[in-house]
Amino acid sequence: MEQTKKENFKGLIKENKNIRQVIWKEGSKVETINEARFLKFLKFKNYQVPDVLETDNRKIIMDFIPGISVFKAMQYFYENKSPERIESLVRYLCDGISNFQSDMRDWKEKTNPYPVSEKLKEVFQLLSGQCNIDDKKNKKLITLASEVFDQNAFYIFRDATPKNYIIKWINEKDLPDTSNSEIIEKIVWIDFSTVRYKTLAIDDFASILFHYMVPQKLREDLLNLHNIDIKRDLNNQVAVFVRLARFWVRRYYYSRYYPEHFRRRYEKEDIYFYQKQFEDYLQKMYQIL
């Protein structure tokens, strides 16, 4: 009689089934093809990104990464008064972007400058009629921004907002309370729908640093550390203005037209930080014109 070895009865154990949770992401053709190729390229370069399981011109099916975003972790550390832990996270993200910007020199696919004029037109259309918005100056500002991006957009736009990094950790309340080294190992980069665009180096640093949880001094220190001049360099100021405008207009649009979604997405944020940064930078831009 055949021996009753455990391996002979593998079919009885359901846990052997290969069940994967997946994310199904649909987008335009050019966006999807670029993102899928880019994810594979990053995997090849040893970045922690989700595995692409299947793709065609319109969709990407990739591994679902269970966890919370770095943004959420930063919010938690902000509420719990742990600025040093916010600092170690944003330092890690900035170092990551610095490496990314040099590694991506090997990416040879076609890229276009970030469509800044279209993006700013949308901002000004939505915010027009509000105090301190000057339609004539806005036109000049769009022309200036287009020139800046046409001449200086040399870096792939990763869109490095902390919402585009997932920590493989189920609940922010269970995050280890000693240091972030354990967390950092578990960070997965997601969302590369913008990699068909080129932008200025500062853009992704701004996407990481211009959030209300990041102290002003740290923001300045990290920009300095990565040799990015924001005090004197006009091009950098324009690029930061554009990012802040996008950050603010999205929040404004949601709160005004989609209050339900707004609550789910932004409720816990200090959105006035984004409004104030935008308004301050807009005035700075008006003075330059």
Ligand X SMILES: Nc1ncnc2c1ncn2[C@@H]1O[C@H](COP(=O)(O)OP(=O)(O)OP(=O)(O)O)[C@@H](O)[C@H]1O
Stretch near Mg ion under the rule CB under 5 A, chosen from 115-123, 163-171, 195-203, 281-289 = 163-171
* Residue 257, contacted partner among ligand X, Mg ion, none, CB below 5-8 A by kind: none
**Residue 262: CB minimum distance to Mg ion, A:** 17
**Is residue 69 close enough to count as binding Mg ion by CB under 5 A?**
no
Residue number, 27 or 215, with CB nearest to ligand X: 27
* Tokens found for residue 229: 């001049």
Residue number, 164 or 207, with CB nearest to Mg ion: 164
CA quadruple 129, 132, 133, 134: dihedral sign:
positive
* Residue 50, contacted partner among Mg ion, ligand X, none, CB below 5-8 A by kind: ligand X
CA quadruple 177, 222, 196, 262: dihedral sign:
positive
Residue that has been written with the tokens 């902390």 in this structure: 162
Minimal CB distance residue for ligand X? 191
- Residue of 32, 75, 164, 277 interacting with Mg ion (CB under 5 A): 164
CA quadruple 33, 207, 273, 176: dihedral sign:
positive
- How far apart CA 273 and CA 127 sit, in angstroms, is 17
The SS3 assignment for 157 reads coil
Residue number, 164 or 236, with CB nearest to Mg ion: 164
Residue number, 121 or 168, with CB nearest to ligand X: 168
* Tokens found for residue 105: 């020199």
Task: Return the C-alpha torsion angle 56, 66, 39, 77, nearest 10.
Answer: 140
Amino acid present at 232 = R
- Per CB under 6 A, residues contacting ligand X are 23, 25, 50, 62-65, 163-164, 166, 190-191, 193
**Residue 99: CB minimum distance to ligand X, A:** 21
The SS3 assignment for 192 reads coil
Residue number, 111 or 193, with CB nearest to ligand X: 193
**Residue 265: CB minimum distance to ligand X, A:** 8
Do residues 196 and 34 lie in contact, with contact meaning Cβ atoms separated by under 8 Å? Answer: yes
**Residue 215: CB minimum distance to ligand X, A:** 24
* Residue 242, contacted partner among Mg ion, ligand X, none, CB below 5-8 A by kind: none
* Residue 62, contacted partner among Mg ion, ligand X, none, CB below 5-8 A by kind: ligand X
Task: State which H helix or E strand residue 197 sits in.
Answer: strand 197-199
Do residues 68 and 171 lie in contact, with contact meaning Cβ atoms separated by under 8 Å? Answer: yes
**Residue 30: CB minimum distance to ligand X, A:** 15
**Residue 38: CB minimum distance to ligand X, A:** 12
Span 182-211, contacts to Mg ion by CB under 5 A: 191
* Residue 65, contacted partner among ligand X, Mg ion, none, CB below 5-8 A by kind: ligand X
CB atoms within 10 A of CB 67: 19
- How far apart CA 163 and CA 70 sit, in angstroms, is 6
Residue that has been written with the tokens 């330092």 in this structure: 91
Residue number, 68 or 94, with CB nearest to ligand X: 68
Residue that has been written with the tokens 């970045």 in this structure: 47
Residue number, 124 or 189, with CB nearest to Mg ion: 189
Binding site for Mg ion (CB under 5 A): 164, 191
